[in-house]
Amino acid sequence: MTTPTTTTQRVGLYAWAALLVLQVVWYAWLYPPQTMSPLLTLALTVVPLLLPLFALPNVTRALLWVGTLALFYFCHGVSETWSSPADRWLAMIEVVLTLLLIGTLGAGVRRRR
């Protein structure tokens, strides 16, 4: 595994890790789902964020995968912000983390040009 070479990549990796931790805290501890199995919910929200670990030796590629996945988490965060007042603060954190993650991808591409 190579270490990130730029500050932008480090910020992207931290946002990815924070998004992963947020999903676990949200669905396993703070607001476990009432209608679904908590384990199923964790599998559906955490496992996709773990898939880019296979590309981690190439940090840029791993962040690209996570950035693509972050679009779904962004949509989830926006819908939860509007529909669930109890979870609103967690959903807003999710939106901010996904925007930070996608922003680091854009900054990395801009820097290379």
pLDDT single digits (tens) 54-88 = 988 888 888 889 989 999 999 999 999 999 999 99
Question: In 10 A of CB 39, how many CB atoms?
Answer: 11
Write down the pTM of the prediction: 0.88
Considering only residues 108 and 34, tell me which one the structure prediction assigns the higher pLDDT.
34
What is the count of structural domains for the chain?
Answer: 1
Residue 96 lies in a domain: yes
Question: In 10 A of CB 22, how many CB atoms?
Answer: 20
Range of the domain at 50: 13-112
pLDDT digits (tens, 9 = 90+) for 37-61: 999 999 999 999 999 999 888 888 8
Q: Using DSSP, how many helices (H) and how many strands (E) does the chain show?
A: 4, 0
Look at phi and psi of residue 36 and say left if phi exceeds 0, alpha if psi is from -120 to 50, else beta. beta
Residue 20 lies in a domain: yes
